[in-house]
A and B are shown apart, each in its own frame.
Chain A
């Protein structure tokens, strides 16, 4: 049996749906396998497990309420193998020390963080991925000219401030959708202050001409080595899986290991370049569609949770 268990309370984690996707990935990989997805609260109630079970804890380990180390120990006492898939490296790297001793294997979402673990023999890099739920093909691009969904981290604020300035300088008439909580409406009057479900977002990816991808700049406890993230987050894979055409601006180049620039996404150096590209795509909708389809094909072959599930099982079987 494979148990996919959230590490933090569901009401505090807006990404708890990822747990569901991971479980589906395991089921797609082995349809006969018994896979259970559960919250941290529910796992507390688990008192027995079948022989050779795997307890995979997924998410962030910074929150103390759940006490992931105690649950790891519980899982071990129930005779299960244990693994943790950290989703918030390196922003919460200091907290990951909590699970180093308790888990048989640690999977980290970030490659830069990987190199900072003292004993790397049991730590494996595993980026997040896309759910196969989003894989319907993109058909038209009748939505906004550019889309961004997320919270205003510092880098994103800078980007969109510049992006708006360039648009007004160019007198570009681009229809944009900026969705996410806490955008300053006096600065970004068109921002939509809400959080969309993953399904709703995936539909937007399919219909918008371009989707901006920007990383996260927000450390919660990363003061020891001050590690800069290098692996892109789940949105990149989810949007690509939905067939979205992404304009990405990331400080590093690891993104190119997952999607091919100019073929499966566009990599830009500045907000100015992003504006130019969005204008160009508006004129060339077919380009947007073809890049989106290429991205989707790449995700189908490499970046579904099914592929990650395979890595997890292979790793667990090798130890």
Chain B
């Protein structure tokens, strides 16, 4: 029987990665193993979606109760954990033991503490090195030692310093924050370094007649545990062909149990005097130790390489499977007969305030769908931006509420507390797909976190929030910026003028949100023009984009009846429809009203009107303007159909414009600025387009007053085009169901152990207005005077420092 394996390192950050690589190589070479998925923590859940393997092998032990590891257990029929840091971490490891069927430990004593189905598994040597043996005569060093300067090692090295000075030696001692104070006390006499890569370690071992092994008897947490089993360096140096001088006070017994004999495969010592004797012999007759080196390398090749450990793991796994411990194979291809659960992120809901945009569309989806069960995680901006979040079900019932202690700021890219609430919502809802209706009010990390868990997300482009915080692309002067590409210099200027943010801020935001676009299962746009803008300004490689026009929320049948009865003859009434504000061209309208004051036309304004407009209008004393007031969505104002034309004066590239649909359905001929989706939707057969300039609109209106014939032609054409088709709900259903079908619904239980820093983007700063990463980087710099400055001053603002840092220190200077 052949087995399939999923392998993952339990901790995201680890200096033992090379061990996992050796192990996986051996697994892949084993004839009883047919497949090995070697997961990276960053995309493990995504990469293993819809997969089921026989064995989950967790390597390491640190953070083994993290969400990713625990979730992967559900995707394998049995699980094994190999603890590598015993006995130093045994107390912690005992708390995670229960999650796994079989435990392996690098330490014999610790293995006893893990209960049944636990085995002692020493680390091993890399079999790819055991074929080469450099003759002693050709070796560069008599002796080498590479390791951390634990106090007992430092004392011993000090004691043999004279002996070492007479030998060709390479002593690489690494210090850390635990050892530093001890080394000063001990008066350690060797230079310190930051260590070497595994392959360099092996090269040095190959070039050393003897490699020195000294126990670590020190614990950073205060206890003094000592492993009874030789560590990986023993096997590695042995595999490379070095003879080993081993401090055998603790590991001697285990060495014998593992088949290594003192005087044959290694030479043991118990104190400095014993070691000095060996060093003396090495000086006088090094050839004496060559046989031992060969014998050790041979034994490792025969019994202690990762191939042998893998053989044991395979045996244990097969035995486990035959003992009928296996969980039944989960049905990976989950049937989706029941309504698929969708979690929607909403920047606003209609009960919180109706602005006639994304909240209205979502409302239509929630009410209109049969195939989906939509839960909404909504941002409630009524208490202020980022101050309240609620999870509500399809019936509008509030299931959870979250009030951040510090309101979320839209300058943040990540936010641990909102992220935690998001995960809690996922745990409650158990969604199969995430619908990002609008990101405003949320950290943009949320969809990436969802993807990490294997939850696909669909992103809706209601405006340009994914490419600029000024979501309608109005610049600091309040006009459409016409930025061309993601690195446009004007974006820096604009962001600085609008929000006083440092240069590159906007770009940093774009880089991050570009990841969102690229990682989405699908993107929904209201119109093609908005997709093009997002694509060019984000620079991202967009996945499949589906154009789904917003739903028709007004009662279509009625509007059609009205418009058919009202053919236009002369231009008398000019409609303004929707939400009249500055970005909808409110100030342009004032100019047009001023221009046409003496003409026999009236301006009929339907919908919400900014107060500032009213006061300016009063100054004009324009008697031909009628403000009808707010109308209920879905109820077109009856007087609309009596108008001959409607003006659409948005100064930003709208992504759709619902009120344009309303006007068209009412048979009112549109006159629009040729910009964004409005410019795209209004063609010359049914309407008029001008450049963004109120004078051009005034001129056109005057022409139509004099000669309405072009208006009549267009209106006739318009009436033939009206269609009742509304595929909004069904198109959304189709897309979201496709996403849900492609992915197995992820498991969100035990998400509390999830650490967002384990995602690949975590090194990107948590805010887009500052490169806060630099502070952390500086803190690690331990060179020259800047290092001491950074310590004494604590947090240094990155501004200016980055430049100095680059010029003086980083400098890519070798």
Residues in A lying within 8 Å of B, measured CB to CB = 12-15, 18, 44, 59-60, 64-67, 69-71, 73-74, 76, 87-88, 94-95, 97, 111-112, 115-116, 118, 128, 150-155, 157-159, 162, 180-184, 195, 215-221, 223-230, 232-236, 251-254, 261, 269-271
Contacts and interface: CB of A to CB of B under 8 A. Distances in A.
B812 A14 contact: yes
Contact of A154 (B12, B485, B539, B782): B782
A257 to B, nearest CB: 9
A115 B21 contact: yes
Interface in B740-794: 760, 763-765, 771, 773, 777, 780-786
A215 B765 CA distance: 29
B14 A70 contact: no
Contacts of A269: 168-170
Nearest to A271: B191
Nearest to B758: A224
B785 A220 contact: no
Given A162-B191, A221-B777, A234-B814, A253 B203 contact: yes
Contacts of A218: 781, 783, 809-810
Contact of B777 (A12, A220, A233, A236): A220
Contacts of B508: 64
B704 interface: no
B200 A15 contact: no
Contact of B807 (A14, A223, A254): A14
A115 B200 CA distance: 12
Nearest to B207: A253
Interface in B499-533: 503-504, 507-508, 510-511, 514
Nearest to B38: A118
What are the 10 A-B residue pairs with the smallest beta carbon separation, nearest first? A233-B814, A252-B200, A112-B197, A70-B539, A15-B812, A235-B814, A253-B203, A12-B806, A228-B197, A14-B811
Contact of B780 (A152, A219, A253): A219
- Give the residue among B140, B487, B773 with the most A Cβ atoms within 10 A: B487
Nearest to A253: B203
Contacts of A252: 196-197, 199-200, 203-204
Interface string B195-228: 1111110011001000000000000000000000
B194 A155 contact: yes
Given A70-B510, A87-B812, A184-B784, A230 B200 contact: yes
Nearest to A269: B170
A225 to B, nearest CB: 5
B803 interface: yes
Given A115-B199, A254-B203, A12 B807 contact: yes
A14 B541 CA distance: 32
A158 B192 CA distance: 8
B511 A70 contact: yes
A270 B539 CA distance: 51
A288 B571 CA distance: 97
B193 interface: yes
Contact of B17 (A18, A220, A225): A225
A94 to B, nearest CB: 5
A263 B398 CA distance: 78
Nearest to B771: A64
A223 B204 CA distance: 25
A225 B13 contact: yes
A157 B541 contact: no
B785 A230 contact: no
Contacts of A15: 811-813
Contacts of B511: 64, 67, 69-70
- Give the residue among A69, A87, A88 with the most B Cβ atoms within 10 A: A69
B196 A228 contact: yes
B172 interface: yes
Given A15-B812, A159-B191, A230-B196, 8 more contacts: A64-B765, A69-B539, A70-B539, A70-B540, A73-B539, A217-B783, A226-B15, A230-B200
Contacts of B510: 67, 70
B804 to A, nearest CB: 10
A60 B810 CA distance: 10
Contacts of A64: 504, 507-508, 511, 764-765, 771
Contacts of B780: 219-220
A229 B198 CA distance: 10
Q: Is the interface of A mostly helix, strand, loop or mixed?
A: loop
Nearest to A74: B539
A94 B12 CA distance: 12
A195 B503 CA distance: 28
Interface residues of B, number: 65
A224 B197 contact: no
Given A67-B487, A252-B196, A224 B12 contact: yes
Contacts of A97: 42, 760, 763
A278 to B, nearest CB: 18
A65 B199 CA distance: 35
A254 B170 CA distance: 15
B814 A44 contact: no
A13 B812 contact: yes
Contacts of B781: 218
B186 interface: no
16 contacts: A60-B812, A65-B507, A66-B487, A71-B539, A94-B763, A97-B763, A112-B198, A157-B783, A181-B807, A218-B809, A223-B13, A228-B194, A228-B197, A252-B203, A253-B203, A269-B168
B204 A151 contact: no
B510 to A, nearest CB: 7
Contacts of A223: 13
B807 A70 contact: no
B486 interface: yes
B811 A151 contact: yes
A215 B200 CA distance: 14
B783 A154 contact: yes
- Give the residue among A13, A87, A159, A225 with the most B Cβ atoms within 10 A: A225
B193 A155 contact: yes
A112 B199 contact: yes
B18 interface: yes
- Give the residue among B169, B194, B782, B812 with the most A Cβ atoms within 10 A: B812
- Give the residue among A59, A150, A159, A220 with the most B Cβ atoms within 10 A: A220
Interface in B12-28: 12-15, 17-18, 21
A117 to B, nearest CB: 10
Contacts of B15: 225-226
Contacts of B417: none
Given A152-B784, A182-B809, A184-B785, A158 B191 contact: yes
Contact of B18 (A95, A115, A158): A115
Nearest to B507: A67
Given A64-B507, A67-B510, A116 B807 contact: no
B196 to A, nearest CB: 5
A159 B200 CA distance: 20
B311 interface: no
A251 B193 contact: yes
A221 B169 contact: no
B808 interface: yes
Given A13-B806, A67-B486, A184-B784, A216 B197 contact: no
A217 B786 CA distance: 15
B410 interface: no
B124 to A, nearest CB: 18
Contacts of A228: 194-197, 200
Contacts of A66: 487
A151 B203 contact: no
B191 A70 contact: no
A270 B168 CA distance: 11
B486 to A, nearest CB: 5
B40 interface: yes
Contacts of B760: 97
A97 B761 CA distance: 8
Nearest to A60: B812
B191 A151 contact: no
B504 A65 contact: yes
